Amino acid sequence: MSITPSLLRRRLGSVGRWSLVVVCVLIVVASTIIGMVSRQSHPQVRGSIELPGLSAPVDVLRDQWGVPQLYADTAEDLFAAQGFVHAQDRFFEMDFRRHVTSGRLSEMFGPDQVGTDAAIRTMGWRRVAEAEWDRLESATRSYFTAYADGVNAYLAGKSPGDVSLEYTLLELTGLDYTIEEWSPIDGLTWLKAMAWDLKGNYSAELDRARLAVAGFSGEQIDELWPAYPEEQHVPIVPEGTVADGEFTTDESAALRTWEQSDEDITGVLRRTLAATEQASAVLGPERADGIGSNSWVISGDLTDTGTPLLANDPHLGAAMPSVWYQVGLHCREVSQACPFQVTGFSFSGVPGVMIGHNASISWGFTNLGPDVTDFYLERIDGDRYLVDDEWRDMEIITETIEVAGADPVELRIRSTGHGPIMSDNDENLAELATGSGGLTEAEESDDAGQSSYGLALRWTALDPGTTADAIFALNTAGDFAEFQAAAEQFDVPAQNLIYADTSGNIAYQAPGRIPVRGAGDGRFPAPGWDSSYDWEGFIPFEELPSVVNPDEGFIVTANNAVIGEQYPYLLTADWAYGYRSQRIRDMIEAAEKPLSAQDMLTMQMDSANDAAIPVLEALRELPTDGLPTAMELLDDWDLQQDRSSAPAALYNAIWRNLLLSTFDELPDGSTPGGGERWGWVVAQLLADETSPWWDDLSTDDLVETRDDMLTRAVEDAVTELTESQGEDHTQWRWGAMHTLTVTHQTLGTSGIAPIEWVFNAASIESSGGDGLVNATGWDAASGYEVDAVPSMRMIVDLGDFTRSQWINLTGNSGHPFHGNYADQLPYWQEGTLLPMPWQVELTVQDETNLLVLEPAGHSS
């Protein structure tokens, strides 16, 4: 969600009126002062600190990358220490996150964030987390409580400026801010934010609704959202179905298929355009193609160690600091009372490790992307909504949004049996303040009388769940049976879970609460007044796809289809279209055996653009007369998009211009992004030279064909690159266009250059691209700049964990001017991994990075 700290921009932005000389001097002085002030919040990493509540000392040993390995006698001490070190390195990020997830950004950043707060409060992330608390296992609650105690022990006695530089700068805006104590619920609520980022086909459903209300036919929408190409791009689990209440790969099992509903609600959607657009505007811009991830695991039969190798690189938005925090959690003596011996990637604000390995198993995640969100068009009469022939009362609650620099805003939240009415909350503050409900103006006379329409959201994450329990179950699982038991608790967000263990097994499990619908297939908003469209339950865990030790010796997941059409349940109709997954499969199958960890890294960094093949074939069919000589770059292109590649620069410029000129009739919000879906859409369209999509609507006297648009795209691309990179096409560089600036989530867009210099990483050139294995995403609608990245990379060696490797996007520290703030970014850019520490010895010669957390009153 977009964060615009307008108060900071307005107050500090006045320097723009000063003379250039004065500004330059002030920048130098301010940078020096800011650096000095920043260092006062840098963490203590050696010596000892008293941490009340510990039962015994905890050792915190950090390596040169600032990654702490924690050693404790009890689980509660271990998580108290994790809370302490998370707060040392990342508390502003944690505090910002809890304001996001509780709908309280306006308290810090003023009126610009009221719309965001209203959307999140309407969904009720905090309310759901509070409802989850009592349902969690007692051990989980004790771990979250101990973690919160550790955070609060760090905060005790500190002013905001002692905790992070961000608070000091916010105080310059006049913000009088007091840091609240950390609550266990704060961490639970952050899990809702991750579920939101990985919520599946929400954006796709909105996009299809937008196209329908804009008058596009069902056939046209299907051309833009084609079926998954199962024959070309193999699903994760190629075979299997459900029989006798269990998932099976037995080919003799009876097969059933789901059927798409024939219900046409396009007319209703046209009447509710306002509701659809309101929801989209409040919740912020979405990439309809989504954000993906890669993971794969290879059996020891195919590796040089004779034991499995597991690789994972989740793709998320680029943020400073990175979303991940690297950590090791070690019970000095592993027992039932203290069962943790685990290392990997954690979220600041949440205890435990999300992705990594323990002493017996390793696991990784990619987004399964099931359809777990449905919009319901509700017929509304005042505060009533229609179900079948009955008018029912909505549930109504009122909340107050506190706003820095402005009066509080009263928010009236209405919900039906399907969920909150998202279309109630317009960005207009005056409408929010009236509490009138903000109903859409589209009113129709029907059999039920005079009514209006609203858009309700049904989403699995708005039901209390058990994902927090799953974290610790994953961390302590010793075999696949225990791993599956943990996966069963991982209800949202539903992820593709890959697995390997030291006994040589590899496996895949699909978890999550995935709805079973009555009527409809979830591709379009459903009529809420017809109960036949309600969810009837959820797919039983035992019937979700899984596979253990497949004959081919490997498992690949990259947001592609989990399973084929023979599966009896609808998981989703909106997968990534399989270019990444198929490329990984092809590389594994073609590679010389045995495979090494270096082979895995080479695959992670692969930048081949297989989706370009049909476009290149069509370009080569164009008459060469009159085409720019720069086209010779594509004659022998190997499809790799390294940042030094001139052919990649030319091809991607052609691709972007082709998309924008061909699909010029699409409404705002549906503009082609250029990812895997659009690769498949265009591949199908190239076979029809006179398709109406090729016609340029701005040329009334012409009807363009495929070759016309390809030729125009080439000419426009060459003109664009000549103007931006010079006339010598051999010197064009993909990296000069495809740049990454890792931006601080709040102050990184302040509009004040010195502030942005402090908090943002320097812009770097990037290889890769959208829909490639090296998935540095970009949006053709806005430019070539990177907007999604492999947020980390990890390769785990199950034969010897000390040979495992990893990299974070930026660094473990959240403090500017700290040595670990962005120290991993150059290695990330080059595709280099760092050693992944495991059971680090405490008897080090240099103990400058050993911190001992002592119980209160403890005598060393």
Confidence tier at 31 by pLDDT (50, 70, 90): low
The larger pLDDT score, comparing residue 182 to residue 109, is at 182
Q: Classify residue 592 by its DSSP letter.
A: P
Domain contains 164: no
Mean pLDDT for the chain?
88
Mean pLDDT of 24-51: 71
Query: pLDDT per residue over 746-758, tens digit each?
Result: 899 888 899 999 9
Alpha helices in 509-612 (DSSP H): 579-590, 597-604
Percent of the chain with pLDDT over 90: 75
What CA–CA distance (Å, rounded) separates 411 from 122?
A: 9
Query: pLDDT per residue over 802-829, tens digit each?
Result: 999 999 999 999 999 999 999 999 999 9
728 burial level (CB within 10 Å; 0-12, 13-18, 19+): exposed
The larger pLDDT score, comparing residue 718 to residue 423, is at 718
The larger pLDDT score, comparing residue 767 to residue 34, is at 767
pLDDT at residue number 180? 96
pLDDT exceeds cutoff 60 at 190: yes
415 is catalytic: no
Contact between residue 441 and residue 277 where contact means Cβ atoms under 8 Å apart: no
Which of 293, 295, 348, 766 is catalytic? The answer is 293
Terminal Cα-to-Cα distance of the chain (whole angstroms): 48
Mean pLDDT of 349-354: 98
pLDDT at residue number 290? 54
pLDDT at residue number 792? 98
Domain contains 624: yes
Q: Which range, 101-110, 587-596, 834-843, has the best average confidence (pLDDT)?
A: 587-596
Domain contains 544: no
Domain contains 450: no
Contact between residue 526 and residue 467 where contact means Cβ atoms under 8 Å apart: no
Instruction: Pull the structure tokens for residue 842.
Output: 């405490």
What CA–CA distance (Å, rounded) separates 117 from 461?
A: 18
pLDDT at residue number 849? 87
What is the chain's Cα-based Rg? 27
pLDDT exceeds cutoff 50 at 276: no
Closest CA to 82 of 348, 343, 324: 348
The larger pLDDT score, comparing residue 283 to residue 768, is at 768
The larger pLDDT score, comparing residue 155 to residue 193, is at 155
pLDDT at residue number 744? 94
Mean pLDDT of 787-798: 97
pLDDT exceeds cutoff 60 at 17: no
What CA–CA distance (Å, rounded) separates 860 from 857?
A: 10
Instruction: Pull the structure tokens for residue 589.
Output: 């199958």
Confidence tier at 33 by pLDDT (50, 70, 90): low
Point out the annotated binding site for Ca(2+).
205, 371, 374
Mean pLDDT of 176-198: 91
Expressed as residue numbers, the domain containing 658 is 610-641+644-737
Type of residue numbered 2: S
Mean pLDDT of 784-805: 97
pTM equals: 0.91
Domain contains 567: no
Confidence tier at 252 by pLDDT (50, 70, 90): very low
Q: How many CA atoms lie within 13 A of 107 on its CB side?
A: 17
Instruction: Pull the structure tokens for residue 828.
Output: 């990330």
Q: List, in sequence order, every residue forming a beta bridge with 516; answer none if it has no partner.
A: 537
pLDDT exceeds cutoff 50 at 694: yes
pLDDT at residue number 534? 97
pLDDT at residue number 30? 56
Contact between residue 295 and residue 498 where contact means Cβ atoms under 8 Å apart: yes
The dihedrals phi and psi of 773, each to the nearest 5 degrees, come to -60, -50
pLDDT at residue number 750? 85
Instruction: Pull the structure tokens for residue 315.
Output: 């793709």
Angle at 714 between CA 709 and CA 719, to 5 degrees: 125
**Helix 165-172 and helix 20-39, axial crossing angle in degrees, nearest 10:** 140
Closest CA to 736 of 724, 744, 745, 727: 724
pLDDT at residue number 472? 98
Contact between residue 336 and residue 167 where contact means Cβ atoms under 8 Å apart: no
| Lowest model confidence (mean pLDDT) among 249-263, 288-302, 578-592 | 249-263
Q: List, in sequence order, every residue forming a beta bridge with 500; answer none if it has no partner.
A: 362, 506
Domain contains 459: no
Mean pLDDT of 401-423: 93
Which residue do the tokens 């692969």 mark? 606
Query: How many domains, the chain?
Result: 1
| Lowest model confidence (mean pLDDT) among 106-110, 361-365, 610-614 | 106-110
**Helix 184-197 and helix 125-133, axial crossing angle in degrees, nearest 10:** 130
Type of residue numbered 557: T
Point out the annotated binding site.
205, 371, 374
Confidence tier at 705 by pLDDT (50, 70, 90): very high
pLDDT at residue number 451? 54
Confidence tier at 445 by pLDDT (50, 70, 90): very low
pLDDT at residue number 806? 98
pLDDT exceeds cutoff 80 at 668: yes
pLDDT exceeds cutoff 90 at 740: yes
Query: pLDDT per residue over 128-164, tens digit each?
Result: 999 999 999 999 999 999 999 999 999 999 999 999 9
What CA–CA distance (Å, rounded) separates 217 from 224?
A: 11
Closest CA to 795 of 357, 482, 487, 486: 357
pLDDT at residue number 524? 81
E strands, 341-416, in order: 341-346, 355-358, 361-367, 373-381, 384-387, 390-393, 395-401, 409-415
pLDDT at residue number 296? 98
Percent of the chain with pLDDT over 70: 86
Instruction: Pull the structure tokens for residue 370.
Output: 């099931």
